[in-house]
Amino acid sequence: MNMLATFSRHHSPLSRRIISKRLFSGSSSGHTVTLAIQRESYDVWERRTPLCPNHVATLLDNPAVERILVQPSSSRIFSNVEFEMAGATVQEDLSAADLILGVKRPLQPKELHPDKSYMMFSHVIKGQPENMSLLQHVLDNNIELFDYECIVEGGMQSTGSCKERKLKRLVAFGKFAGRAGMTDALNPLGRRLLALGFSTPFLHCPPAHMQRDWTALQDTVRSISEWIRVDGLPSEMEPVVFCMTGEGGNVHSGVMEVFDILPHEVVSVSDLPDVVQQTGSQHLVYGVSVRAEDVFRKRGSDAPFDRDHYMQHPQAYESIFHTNIAPYANVLVNGMYWDLRYPRLITKDQMQQLYMDGNKRLMLVADISCDVNGSVEMLERTTNIDSPYFQYDPIVKTEVSGSISSDGVTVMGVDILPTELPRESSIYFGGKLLPVLEKLIDYKVSGEGSSERVPPELTNACIATGGSLTRGFQHLESFLKRPSGRVPPSESKATLWLEGHLFDSGLINHALDVIEQNDCTFEIVECQVRRKQDGIARKSNVIVRIASPDDSSIVRIENQVSSLIDIMQNADCTMKRLDGGGADTIDTKQHSTFVKELPKEEKILVLGSGLVSKSLVEYLGRKDRRQVTVAGAIEEEARSVSQAARNGRYVTMDVQNDMRRVKQMIGESDVVVSLLPASMHPDVACACIDESTDLVTASYESEAMRNLNERAKAEGVRLLNEVGLDPGLDHMSALRIIDDIHSRGGIVKKFTSVCGGLPSPEAADNPLMYKFSWSPMGVLSACKNDAVYRSNNDVIEVDGNYLLRDAAPFTDAWPALRLECLPNRNSLLYEDKYGIHGAEDIFRGTLRYSGFSGIMSVFQAIGLLEAVDASGMTWSEAIDSLQRKAGFASLGDFLFFCAEGNQESALRAAECLQFLNMDGGVRLSCPDNLVASFCEVLKSKCRYEHNERDMCLMHTSVHAVFGDAVEETHHSSLQIFGDSHHSAMSKTVGYTAAAATDVLLADKARLGGLLLPISKDLYVPILDALSTEGICFKEAVKVSDTNYSQRTAPI
């Protein structure tokens, strides 16, 4: 008996026919369920798993889960032993399971057990012909089938309505297809260029499945990037131009993560004619990221592109890709969504015309969307990882070879790209699936029969149950095999009558295309097009007679047009067979429709328009029906930041001196994100409490903020602090480890967490080996903070005046970088926050490149970090004055003294003063404040240049002991680099604060008060969201010094 039926066994058979009824049915409490993970058989390369060992362990903590069975597999990315260690039972027989999970459909339908519930990517929801035998097997064997593709935010009614309403899929493989697809395109590009006589570094990029993991993949692409940057591409070649489609989607994001590693310049469509005219050695590649308005236009109209109209009436548009982009691009990486309603990006005819005109620049297509004969019509079939591409001849319009040659277009269409990064993609996927499973299990064992408690994500994710298709998928009946004799054997003609909004919707064009694609002829017998009445469109009708060489083609046409009618609900079409044969009348008005009231527009107020703001606004501004307003003191900055959002506004104001206006804006907002200096947060928080508006900040909680806790609680206002990099990700990554240890009965004995924002190694090219992307005052102030930590049960207190002298080499991670670490504030505050009472070591530190603290300590001893008056002096005079005041005749002796006799530090300090031009006649920029003048020098001389990138590092170590004498040492590392869009610091702070804002907006029921991201219900969804942005920790654990295992976990 399948799982849902187990909970509904006391209800009538009628309740089992429609999933919305079955899920609402009650049950007696106290049941448990058995889950199972089936072995993947669809493709030999499929190594993913729907749940990873850590997800299994989490589920087994649920008392409602009796056990989890895992079918043994030696090809799965996680071993059988790892699942056994997590508590699963590894066995061949899954017949005892209530719900069986897989990634892909099995190779043979007979692999599915009768009377069971299954979750998988079944690939039946579009009526894919090759999978209809699977669907028929499901119905014939009373199998309940859930499809991950239909688990969407708020539930869905049918695939058509889901796509039209752009509902968010909750269980998917995110960016991994894009990451793998873009990587896999580089080697065939190199081979194609080699066939043309050009040797390039692209040849040396192996496909994604040959990389150890995502980190190794990035390192490989970086090495190729450095090769191109230093040596360049052959001067005889034209510039290499990549075109990426699907902007705004997960596939496109993954593609751009790889492309951004290459030395590149992003150009617009209008720049392309000039780009391809460039000559000489190229040390970069070019990329154009196209949107719908770049490649489609309304037929017969020169009006500006209207995206809303395009989404509602895509059939009214045509592609201009073949004229505006294809003549200039060398590589097309396609990640756009497509179905029958939409115009193709490029057709075979258009590609043929380009070649006939002598334009052969487009040499490689990486179709990640993988729609056969879809948006890129040249993709005539899917490819596989063993043979990922074929050669297409545009002149004869067909595939001509399975190997790369110098002519034609190399086409790649691998349909299981995420499995090329199996570990990371499985961890990510399972993390998304886990809460859905937990909701379903908890609902079923609770005995609650109220429909209000049904997990909405699953209400319409069930395709079949009780031997029947569910309401949202009854249209699939037309794709299943029809009974023999349905069309009279003696008759090979059919007459179809269609009535609806046939022309406005474009349905009639698609229907006639279907007839032609099935090699049949047709005749329009009658056509009545009615004019609008009182401005309201009226239905038209068409009678079409079809002639076919065989009966099966007639049946196939009828099925496919029926599917079109179901998908294109705006046509409101009815179809009948008038010749006495075929299906019963198909009336879409009788099909269930799902009308969802549009949600209220969310309003977010962002205070501050500094460097971190743009990434935050870009992230928050991606969603529909969301307005993001940026308030900043500098109009140009505020305007620029606001433009990162799809619906962005800006206001120019002095927040500190115009709190009345700020308070008014807060009252009009759903949530406020303050990126202002921390000293201003209490005033903003008071206004938020008064206006009952939630507040998010990335800053440390202060005593002033803590004093507002009770007020905020009383008013139900959430004040969420410390959601940046440090503080923020440090809490969340640490607590993910610590909470896991505590849940297994462990005790934390040692805890270390370090973090640093640095120039990337190639950009660390000054004596300080440090650069500033904003005012250096914060960095200099931090150099003088007092610090407290515990080491071997001894409390160590460091006076801020001597903090820089306490720096020590850091070797726990990234030894090649030669780092040092400084104690960071009061580490003992985290003993309570993290629940690690009694730990022998508690240390939090700041990372710098080795030597930074020595030089800065000398500068501190000189007096450069003090706010003293140096009116009218040059830098040489100011330092001479400090030197004489200390009683030294020479600068060398003074520096040697300030370096406490360390000659290397003294020499490096002297070199740095010379580099900063502080040994000459330049006057101080702020004569009455020496440290402010010093900051201006650092900001000017140690700034990031164009194309230089920063780097953020974070490392956490946790040592724990367990009652059975087992000891575990956990390590968690994060290394993020900036790119052409955002700095690493901007991403790790801005994206984190934005993800936290989304969590507050989604969870209106959370109680008010001062919050930190130290509880699972906060840090888990934030970390899950950040994983989709490529912010991933590498985690490892050493158990009892004998057993070492390693995994990469998306945060």
Model pLDDT, residue 585:
36
Examine the pLDDT at 1048 and tell me if it is beyond 60: no
Which pLDDT score, from 0 to 100, does residue 2 have? 37
Q: For residue 92, how many C-alpha atoms fall within 13 Å in the half-sphere facing its CB?
A: 1
The per-residue pLDDT for 265 is: 94
Say which amino acid occupies 164.
E
pLDDT category of residue 396 using cuts at 50, 70 and 90 = confident
- The answer, yes or no, to whether the previous bond of 727 is cis (omega within 30 of 0) is yes
Confidence at residue 925, expressed as pLDDT on a 0 to 100 scale: 83
Mean residue pLDDT of the chain comes to 84
Query: Which of 15-29, 163-177, 784-798, 876-890 is predicted with the least confidence, judged by mean pLDDT?
Result: 15-29
268, HSE (Cβ side, Cα atoms, 13 Å): 4
Rounded CA separation 285/827 (Å): 46
Q: What digits encode the pLDDT tens for the residues 270-282?
A: 999 999 998 877 8
In the prediction, which pLDDT does 492 show?
59
Q: Classify residue 398 as exposed, middle or buried by CB count within 10 Å of its CB (0-12, 13-18, 19+).
A: exposed
Sheet holding 586-587, edge to edge: 521-528, 540-547, 493-500, 574-577, 586-587
Report whether 201 contacts 189 (CB < 8 A): no
Could you tell me the two tokens for 853?
A: 């603290």
Distance CA 220, CA 229 (A): 14
Tokens of 868: 């003293």
User: Which of the four pLDDT bands, split at 50, 70 and 90, describes residue 987?
Assistant: very high
In which band, very low, low, confident or very high, does the pLDDT at 599 lie, cut at 50, 70 and 90? low
pLDDT, tens digit (0-9, with 9 covering 90-100), for 494-507: 888 888 888 777 78
| DSSP state letter for 168 | P
pLDDT band for position 373 (cuts 50, 70, 90): confident
Range 765-784 average pLDDT: 86
> Looking at residue 979, what is its pLDDT?
84
Residue 531 pLDDT: 52
Question: Side chain identity at 1046, as an amino acid letter?
Answer: Q
Cα separation of 61 and 777, whole Å? Answer: 49
Residue 506 is predicted with a pLDDT of 77
Q: DSSP characters for 100-150?
A: EEEEE--SSGGGSPTT-EEEEE---TT--GGGHHHHHHHHHTT-EEEEGGG
Alpha carbon 34 to chain centroid distance?
A: 32
Contact present, 319 and 295 (Cβ < 8 Å): yes
Percent of the chain with pLDDT over 90: 49
pLDDT score of 874: 87
Alpha-carbon separation of residue 734 from 427, 843, 965 (angstroms): 18, 12, 23
Q: Looking at residue 580, what is its pLDDT?
A: 55
**Which of 15-24, 180-189, 598-607, 892-901 has maximum average pLDDT?**
180-189
Q: Give the angle 507-513-515 at the CA atoms, nearest 5°.
A: 110
Q: What is the pLDDT of residue 581?
A: 56
Asked if the model's pLDDT at residue 158 lies above 60, the reply is: no
**Is the pLDDT confidence value at 288 over 80?**
yes
Which of 137-146, 468-477, 579-588 has the highest average model confidence (pLDDT)? 137-146
| Residue 422 tokens, joined | 């199996």
Provide the pLDDT for residue 447: 53
| Predicted confidence (pLDDT) per residue in 997-1007, tens digit | 999 998 866 78
- Provide the strand spans (E) within 578-670: 586-587, 602-607, 626-632, 648-652
Could you read off the pLDDT of 310-362 as tens digits, one per residue? 888 888 899 999 999 999 999 999 999 887 678 999 999 999 999 988 899 99
**Lowest-confidence region among 121-130, 648-657, 983-992:** 121-130
Assess whether pLDDT exceeds 50 at residue 583: no
The CA distance from 424 to 1032, in Å, is: 9
- Minimal CA–CA distance to 241: which of 181, 297, 324? 324
- The pLDDT score that the predictor gives to residue 371 is 85
Please, which pLDDT band fits residue 534 given cuts at 50, 70 and 90? low
Q: Where are the beta strands (DSSP E) in 488-645?
A: 493-500, 521-528, 540-547, 574-577, 586-587, 602-607, 626-632
Give the C-alpha separation, 1031 to 1049, whole Å. 10
Q: Give per-residue pLDDT as tens, 824-874.
A: 999 999 999 999 999 999 999 999 999 999 999 999 999 999 888 877 788
| pLDDT on residue 167 | 59
Report long-range pairs for 396-402 (Cβ below 8 Å, ≥24 apart).
397/348, 397/349, 397/351, 397/352
Mean pLDDT of 962-979: 90
pLDDT higher than 70, residue 469:
yes
Query: 3-class DSSP state for residue 649?
Result: strand
Q: What is the pLDDT of residue 36?
A: 96
533 or 472: which carries more pLDDT confidence?
472
pLDDT at 525: 65
Task: Identify the band that residue 392 occupies on the pLDDT scale cut at 50, 70 and 90.
Answer: very high
Q: 238 and 276 in contact (C-beta within 8 Å)? A: yes
758: left (phi over 0), alpha (psi -120 to 50) or beta: beta
Look at residues 739, 413, 759, 339 and name the one whose alpha carbon lies nearest to residue 569: 339
- The answer, yes or no, to whether residue 459 has pLDDT greater than 90, is no
The answer to whether residue 900 scores a pLDDT higher than 50 is yes
- Residue of 596, 616, 597, 594 lying closest to 606 (CA atoms): 616
pLDDT one-digit tens code per residue, 878-899: 888 899 888 998 888 999 999 9
Strand 99-104, strand 117-121: pairing: parallel
pLDDT mean over 552-560? 84
Residue 1042's pLDDT band, with cuts at 50, 70 and 90, is: very low
pLDDT above 70 coverage of the chain, percent: 88
**1022 confidence band (pLDDT: 50, 70, 90):** very high
Mean pLDDT of the 589-597 span: 32
CA angle 892, 896, 901 (to 5 degrees): 155
Assess whether pLDDT exceeds 60 at residue 287.
yes
Among the residue ranges 514-528, 607-621, 813-827, the one predicted with the least confidence is 514-528
| 658 band by pLDDT with thresholds 50, 70 and 90 | confident
